[in-house]
Chains A and B, each alone.
Chain A
Amino acid sequence: MKGLIRWFFFRSRGDSPFKLLLIHLALIMACLIAIYPVARVVSISLRPGDRLLSTDLALIPRDATWSNYTRLLASKDFFLWVWNSLTVTISVSVIGVILAATSAYAFSRWKFPGRAPALVLLLSTQMVPAIMMLIPLYLMFVGITRQFGIPLVGSYLGLIVAQSAVGVPFSIWILKGYYDTIPVDLEEAAKIDGAGPLGAFYRIILPLSTPALAIVFLFNFMASWVDYILPRVILPKPELFTWPLGLQRLQGQFQTEWGMFAAASVLVAIPSMALFLYSSKWLISGLTLGSVKG
């Protein structure tokens, strides 16, 4: 016990033990506030159906049960929602990475006419709120669906297109910043060895920028995975719902489905949070990656 106390206080010689105790207390308080609402969702997901509506504040219900999970998975469209989300999300991420990887290379290596305005354009796309673009995009999609028969509204396609439009400029921006840090000498050497300009890109640049490509993939994946507003407008049919829309439908029936809503939240949140916590170091470095060198 004494050793434990010593360990607890050892490494911060600058602070007095009393101050350290206060710091720990403050942090524990903050952690409780940060974790309580999350823990509540878990707790509600474990409540038996007859006690869903209760004023109980205990985090682990006395009669905990998996019944909300089994009912959710057996009777609701949970799998369909996750599948729809995955289909859209993976498409958006792959399209984003491919388009951005090639465009960003040109922006990084050639000073072609029109480059500067194009870069400013890329940056300005980020200043426009998604909801503002939603009005013309929605009306455009309705028009295209009617005129050309390409179902941009009421199928995944419009959603994939719209989310890519949000993701690609940002991806180009990040990748350009990363390519800029790779010395041109490497490609020169490859060219002397007989590689064409595309060969140098494919053999030298792409393998070297795997971390940045992963960041871009993750960014697009996360942005698309948690998006609510675009699917809400573009995917009105229940059989095309992504998980945020599905969860909202469960939540809407407060009286009956709260437990299933909580169970679905937990099932979605665990992989999402694992991915976020695992990749947050890179995601945060990605926020500054593009800005280091313009």
Chain B
Amino acid sequence: MRSVLASDIAEKLWSWLRALFALALLALVVKFLATYLPKQQSLTPTVVLGSMKTVGGFVALIAAFVVALEFVLYVILMKLLKWKHALAYMLVAPGMVGIALLFLYPFSYNIAIAFSNRSLERFLPGAYSYGLAFGVENFRSVFTDKILHDTGFWEVFARTWLWTAINVFFHVLGGLGLALLLNRTLPLRGLYRTILVFPWAIPQVIVALALHNEFHYQYGFVNNLLVSFGLPRVQWLSEPVPAFVAATISNIWLGIPFMMVIILGGLQSISHEFYEAAAIDGASGWQQFKSITWPLLQPVLTPATVMGTIWTFNAFNVIYLITVGGPSEKTDILVTALFKAAFEFYRYGQAAAFALVIFVILFAVSATWIQLSGGLKGVTD
């Protein structure tokens, strides 16, 4: 009895300590910033006022637009037509107009660009033109020409799937392993859980930028750890395979906590009674896992895996900030290649066609999943 109490108190104490620690750290940061705010020259009152003015003016513009829109809708739908759906339309209008302008229109515009010869030399209106022939040429060039400096579509396509498969496999494996370890009454469980979520909690950009330096041949910690274990140094960022491995390790490290948290939630929702019944029948741990845990985890694991697949497929930051797709484009995946095609090679027509190809791939993945998981039945209820 006393031990139970002791461990409860310890858990409480730990959560207080954690909060206290976080507050102390935050206070330190605030103190630092407050001390140096008057001493620096970059953030002057002029700058602050300037940005307030820009944003304020813009918000006023949007507000005016919304008011005008609502007024028109009010007069037409409510006063003239006296339609019963008038209020619903008035509520939905600002958001949906925004989505139409910033999603539907750009999406259609992207299709139009794919059927044009727009590029850096033909950038301004009048310099480029639209035509079916340009579209055919753009799509052909995506598949048969180089999409980067000297890399073709299929190489990047294959690498993207290799990248996605390896990452998602290790995310699920690592997440499942840690979740199974944590899914019991365990002293210090809260502490472990908090620390294990760190890679997810820290902004990804910071991790990616820091790891780029940490894969440095001479001074990065990865090579120095290898040396301290008596292993040779590796040219992480200047050889294709090590660069791919470096990016993959980084992304696995980043992605495990999400899977762990999601799977842990799933594990905790499985009733104890199943395990008790199985134990009475004499089922071993592995048998319990195989016929209780794994099947009952599927409703959580499947959507998490699909989400993980799409995120990994789109993992721009990790690749672009750690290896920059290099050396010599050997670690580029589809999204980084697309970014380079558009914003480094300025081949807008080809890039727009390329974007549509990637969209179709992702759409196929999502649609397959939606089909498998029972369709869009619940969506429009």
Contacts and interface: CB of A to CB of B under 8 A. Distances in A.
Interface in B186-223: 186-188, 192, 194-207, 209-214, 216, 218-219, 221
A23 B376 contact: no
A219 interface: no
A139 interface: yes
B85 A110 contact: yes
A192 interface: no
B109 interface: yes
B280 to A, nearest CB: 14
B348 interface: yes
B339 interface: yes
B213 A136 contact: no
B220 to A, nearest CB: 9
Interface stretch (B93-101, B138-146, B161-169): B93-101
Contacts of B25: 270, 274
B116 to A, nearest CB: 10
A54 B381 CA distance: 61
A228 B91 contact: no
A192 B310 CA distance: 48
Nearest to B174: A30
A250 to B, nearest CB: 9
B98 A258 contact: no
B133 interface: no
Given A91-B59, A132-B338, A280-B197, A248 B89 contact: no
Secondary structure of the A contact surface, majority rule:
helix
Contacts of B351: 135
A106 B209 contact: no
Interface string A223-241: 0011011000100000100
23 contacts: A6-B3, A34-B253, A102-B92, A106-B91, A121-B99, A121-B103, A127-B310, A129-B335, A131-B355, A136-B109, A138-B343, A139-B113, A165-B103, A168-B99, A229-B317, A261-B209, A261-B213, A268-B203, A270-B26, A271-B26, A273-B198, A278-B22, A280-B201
Interface of B: 3-4, 6-7, 10, 22, 25-26, 29, 32-33, 36-37, 39-40, 42-43, 47-48, 51-52, 54-55, 58-59, 61-62, 85, 87-89, 91-92, 94-96, 98-99, 102-107, 109-110, 113, 118, 125, 178, 181-182, 184-188, 192, 194-207, 209-214, 216, 218-219, 221, 224-225, 227-228, 253, 257, 261-262, 265, 303, 310, 314, 316-317, 321, 335, 338-339, 342-343, 348, 351-352, 355, 358-359, 362-363, 366, 376, 378-381
